[in-house]
Every structure is written in structure tokens, then in C-alpha cells.
Structure 1
Amino acid sequence: MGDDETGHGFDHIQRVVGLADRISQSYPAADHLETLTAAYLHDVIDEKLVTDTAAASAEVKQFLVDQGFTTAQITAIFLIMDNMSYHKTLDGTAKPLPLEGQIVQDADRLDAIGAIGIARAIYFGGHFGEKIYDPAVQPRTAMTHAEYRNLNHETIINHFYEKLLTLKDLMNTAAAKQIAEHRQQVMLDYLAEYKAEWNAEA
């Protein structure tokens, strides 16, 4: 993923690992190795980043075997990786996550909000040629998985309302919820300023 141009590069991975490590300090019952391994690998089999998810999964499993991970550990790590993505909540296919998975999911979602979340949303939208803003295009609600992936009906600003502003209330852990409060306000302030400038009010 060294050539990623969608906001899912190694810098994103490092932040997710750092956040997962930080959150896990409040939950000593969580398996630290499984948590951080899933955090490092969570995007390498994601459908939005790889064309052949089955091949990517097989490659990762073999990599973990080569590193000495047990079958039980690999199963636990893949349970997290296969069920933590936001799109899984849209089609109802996500299996309940163990504590380790909840931590990684929270860490990933935290990196999607706040100042860096704003930058990543613009970077992602620009990569796929999305329009920045159109007041005539209303944010979509109750999207299916297919609708969520259809970027032809999305603007970058609408993405905040369709997804990013909902993530605060989807955090699993108390530690993540606390971090999310500030990052949510950063996004709300940004959107208010953006619209004021758009309308020549600021």
C-alpha cells in the first residue's frame, strides 16, 4: 500500500496502530498482539483498496503463518479484519466484534474524523473526482452498500453528513468516545466556516 493515493497509506496505518495502542491501555483484558496485528493489517484486504480480496486474504494468512501465528490467532485477527469496515454495517453482514476488534474499529474510525479526517475526506474525494460541494445535492440517508460505494451521487461535503459525523456515536469504547467528542467539534466548526465562506458571509 506504499503507493496509495486515497488516504489509506502507511501513515494512516501508523495512526490507527497508535490509537489502538492508546485505547487498549484502558482495556488490559484485550489481547495486545491480536489488537495491534489487526490494526496494522486492517486495510490490506479491504474491497475499496484491492481488486481481489480473496487473493489478498490468502496472502495475509500465509504471511501470518510464516510469522509463527497460531490458527486461533489468525482466526481472531481475520474476524476483526473481515467485520470492522463501515460498509459491513450497511448491509447487516458484520459479525459482532470482540474487544480487540472494537478497539481497532474505534481507532480506524477516529482517524476518519477531526482535522486529519477532513484532510483525508478531501484527498479521497479528489482522487475519485468527486465534486467538493453542491447545495442542490442533498446528503443521502439509509444507504445500501451499493449506494455507499456509488461516488457519482456524493459530494465531499455531503460525505461528512452521510458518514463522518455519525461515527462519534458509533464508537465502542469509552476511551474512543472521549477522543471523538473533540474531533467531532473540529468537523462541525469546519463545515460551518466552509458554508459561511461559500455564501460569502465570512
Structure 2
Amino acid sequence: MRPTNDEAKTDLATWRPRLAAMAEGASGGDGAHDSAHLERVWRNAQTLLAQQPEADALVVMAACYLHDLVNLPKNDPDRAQASTRSAQLARHQLAWMNFPPERLDAVAHAIEAHSFSANMAGHCAAESLEAKIVQDADRLDGLGAVGLARMFYIAGRMGTSLAHPSDPLGSAREFDDRNYALDHIMVKLAKLPGMMQTEAGRALAEERLARLMAFREEFALESGMPPG
């Protein structure tokens, strides 16, 4: 039997600090995937849940907090396996903490399916509504002002240049985000709105992407390049 609204709110209030504590320290010092990121993803998810009241909010919340339990660097050859490992670890730890057993499969699926890298490798597609909400919520954190800050933070950790010195907008070359951070907007982030699984997520993603595209133009102008 599905819990009442009051019971669901109590479940969320009870489990939220326990989930946050479980996830603490999993970032390995990565400021782009730290506890603040998890809180933002959960806030994004709550916005999406308001449009999808039939979704299981406890499953969504657990997956939001635990989706990065195994956090591998962007350039790690096993990066596409991180979400699968996170799902396995989350299932084990949640079972040990007496999380509702009938929800474990749903949480594990939402965690495994959230990953952009895993999706690109064809490993796992989001099938449940909860998985779609978690995936959208996580991807929204890669867009807008926060997404921009995360993009350059990660680029700095990987030793990537800010932008191509003479063609920052990639007008006459192939985009290469392994060497130029600004290229990541076009290589990955510009694709996210079209990949969103929910209408609310798509609308928010389009708004946030517009800010990134405007930033690209401003960057080019300040670099002495004509706008695209």
C-alpha cells in the first residue's frame, strides 16, 4: 500500500539526514560532486516532483543523495562504470540500514541510469519515472551558473585550458573539450535540454543553457574575437 502524504513526508524527514551522512565523504575532495552538489540535485528533484506527484519521492531522494557514492574522475577509463558501482554499493548499504526492501530495486535503477557516461556507453537507460526525475535533476546541475562554475572547476583539476587561444567558439575547428574547457558547452551541455526526460526538466534546462550560450559569446568578445 502506498503511504499517505503525511507518512511520505515523515519518511523523507527521517531518511534525509541518514542518506546525507551515508554520502558524506564519497566525493574524494571533488568540489563538483560534493555534498552541496547532492543537495542541489535533491532541490532540483523536488521541483520536478511537484509536477510528477505520482512518483515515489523517497526513491528519488535516496537516489539523489547516493548517485555519486563511487565517484571516478571524468578522464578515468572506468568512468562509465561509476553509476553501476554506486548502485551496487547503495543497495548494500541501504539494506544494512533497513531501508524499505521493496524500494531497493527502484533506487538502484535510478542511480545506475542517471549517468551521462553510462547512457552514452549504452549501459543503462532510465525506465522508471523516478529514474527519469533523478537523471534530469542531476543534469540540471550541469547547466546555468552552477554548471558553468563546475565546468571550469573540473577543467582546472584536469589541467585543461580555458579555451582555444584564437578560435574560442570553434568556428573553424572541431570542438575538443579534453583540451579546451569552453568547448564542453557544445560537446555535452548544449545537448542536455534535448535529452531531458520530463517536461519541467526540459524547460529549466533550456533556460539554463541560454545563460551558458550567452557566456560563450561574452567570453569570445572579451578575448578579442568576433561573436559567432
Bigger Cα displacement from structure 2, 71-80 vs 56-65: 56-65
CA contact (8 A) 2:113 2:135 kept: no
Q: Does the C-alpha gap of structure 1 residues 154 and 90 become closer, same or farther in structure 2, counting only changes over 3 Å?
A: farther
Residues 1:183 and 2:219 are matched in the alignment = no
Q: Is this contact kept in 1: 2:114–2:135, CA < 8 A? A: yes
Among candidates 138, 155, 158, match of residue 174 of structure 2: 138
- State the one-letter code of the partner of 1:180: A
Indicate how the Cα distance of structure 1 residues 122 and 191 shifts in structure 2: closer, same or farther if over 3 A, else same: same
Matched to 2:64, the amino acid is A
42-51 or 4-13, larger mean C-alpha shift: 42-51
- Which sections of structure 1, spanning at least 5 residues, go unmatched? 141-150
Q: Deviations over 1:44-83 (max 9, x none)?
A: 1344489895876554323201332233311111111112
Match of 1:128 in 2: 158
The two structures have a TM-score, normalised by structure 2, of 0.75
Structure 1 partner of 2:63: 38
Q: CA RMSD in A?
A: 2.5
1:112 and 2:148 equivalent?
A: no
Choose which of 31, 34, 44 in structure 2 pairs with 1:9.
Answer: 34
After TM superposition, the score normalised by the length of structure 1 is: 0.84
**Cα–Cα, structure 1 residues 56 and 173, in superposed 2: closer, same or farther, change >3 Å?**
closer
- The match for 2:105 among 72, 75, 80 is 75
Letter in 1 for 2:118: K
Structure number with larger C-alpha Rg? 2
Q: Which amino acid aligns with 1:130?
A: T
Given the alignment of the two structures, is residue 155 of structure 1 paired with residue 186 of structure 2, yes or no?
Answer: no
> Residue 162 of structure 2: SS of its match in structure 1?
coil
Segments of structure 2 that go 5 or more residues without pairing to the other structure are: 1-25
Label 1:177 to 1:57 Cα distance change in 2 as closer, same or farther (>3 A): closer
